[in-house]
Structure 1
Amino acid sequence: MLPPRRFLPSFSLLAAFEAAARTGSVTAAANELGLTQSAVSRQISALERQLGVALFLRERQTIRLTIAGDTYAREVREALRRISSASLNLKANPAGGTLNLAILPFFGTRWLTPRIGRFLDQHPGMVVNLITRLEPFDFRFDTLDAAIHFGVARWPGAALTLLMDEDVIPACSPAFRQRHSLAVPADMLRAPLLHLSTRPDAWELWLSRNQVPFDAVQGMLFDQFVTMVEAARSGLGAALLPRFLIEKELEEGRLVRAVDGEPMPTGQYYLAYMPDRATYPPLAAFRDWIMQEIGADTLALAGPIGQ
């Protein structure tokens, strides 16, 4: 249910206020909106009268947001952004059927994007918007229908569909393995190791799992898998990488297992969404499709992987 009409200012008033708040100038806001300065000033004053709150402090020829105005500006800006996004989605796909999906960069680049065409072929008319996200987000405020998520759930009340388990292997370039004479897990202590900032203890866990005593593990730090893969391919070090995301490099010999050993389980990937979106047709169709894709990949990955 919408709030009473008196709490719903017109779009023109909100647009004038947001532009003035963002630019810090009535003149700049007027130029941006194609209005006169006096028109923008009148719209801001009308908004303040409607709300019964002063949004700006007027000081000679300048304006400055009040504390209340600053808070209101942030919320109005996000609301206008969502309206703009919804309008763009509608224009791009007038028949409906748009899925806004947050993805992890490496998973999206290596696994999902090369396959998404098959989903679109099976569901003509549907549109999938991919939004790369590393930082936490909130389904209540973000214009997202679902997200590909790894690890522990961060969103209270969200539904999680398990997609797949992840395991990692120590990988490096063939020349790197030969140069450092890598053969058994203990040899890794003699080689430069590459680390992911979101998994800072990965090598410690791997060494402990392989019963290799160690004092400290150091090396280059990366914030994304994609750059760490390139560093490993370039011979800068060995990296613990998700096995299913480096299949191409392993098959082509650009990466090899640094040492023999079993893959190390690290966690699970989930499709996360709010329960009230579970039956949204594009989301339901995508959920069914991605489970089928993962099932086919699991069978293929069960075979031997090149060393």
Structure 2
Amino acid sequence: MNESKDEYENNNYEPAGPKTAMVAIIGRPSSGKSTFLNTASGEPVSIVSPIPQTTRNAIKGIVNTSFGQLVFVDTPGYHMSEKKLNLKLQQTARDQLEASECVLYVIDASRDLGEEEEATAELIAPYASKTVVAVNKTDLPAAKPDRVISFVQSKIQSIDKNRIFEISAKNDTGINDVLKALYDLAPEAPHLYPEEYYTDQEVGFRIAEVIRGQAINRLSDEIPHALFVDISDMEFKKEGKLLWVRAFLCVERESQKGIVIGKGASMIKTIRIETIKELRKIFDYKIDLDLQVKVVKNWRQKDMILNKVLS
């Protein structure tokens, strides 16, 4: 981060002992929750995309300092919709609000406020005593942080004004102020994870998310929301130096399958190559990826698949 850990840890903040907290990150789609998580943890933990509702699961990113451990849970963007998939995503966000010791409300300062933002603020209001607000994207010309702060104070009237911060998660501005406020709220407790951890994601899940991220940032129209990744098989080879993975990019219709494959299989080849490049940065062993495309008709309406995808 811009402000070094030494600078952060040598300031006047001196807690009584190590602290630990689960922190639910709540906000509308594309408010910058995943960018905040990746910046704070220093690693690409969660998919970042201009496409709304990229995050489908409660993704964890872990920040360790001498003060303790903050376990951030990046929740799906809170979006008002009665579709089955969106209802399950909404429930994921509500569950994390209830279960976490702290809440980080990320709100986009460059976007108009409306009914969806009001619904998000109302969702958070009962948890004001454990909430920190990050007014994000203040680096953009369209940003109106004063208007957003007034909105937050009107909708969450019991919020402490000293726990509202103007930040730019993309430019790593104001992140440490948010961390300090969260440590102030965190209870004294032992760590939940070893200090070298920056996420608790299992290998298969991380690989699936990297594949999905590479796919949705190259596909348009309805395709990103109509696909999921199924890891069908994994096997270590060469005495653990190579992980062989067979994965399927699953879509809902035959017409979508052709788009994902691309002319002369160009799209699926690009997704595979770029995925392997990204995985090399994450794992200390090589990945051999067999990536294919298949159709799973109307999967977003099938509870069994939704439960697997959103677990």
Name the TM-score, length of structure 2 as normaliser.
0.23
Name the TM-score, length of structure 1 as normaliser.
0.23
| Greater helix fraction, Structure 1 or Structure 2 | 1
User: Which of structures 1 and 2 has the bigger CA Rg?
Assistant: 1
The structure whose RCO (Cα within 8 Å, separation 6+) is larger is: 1
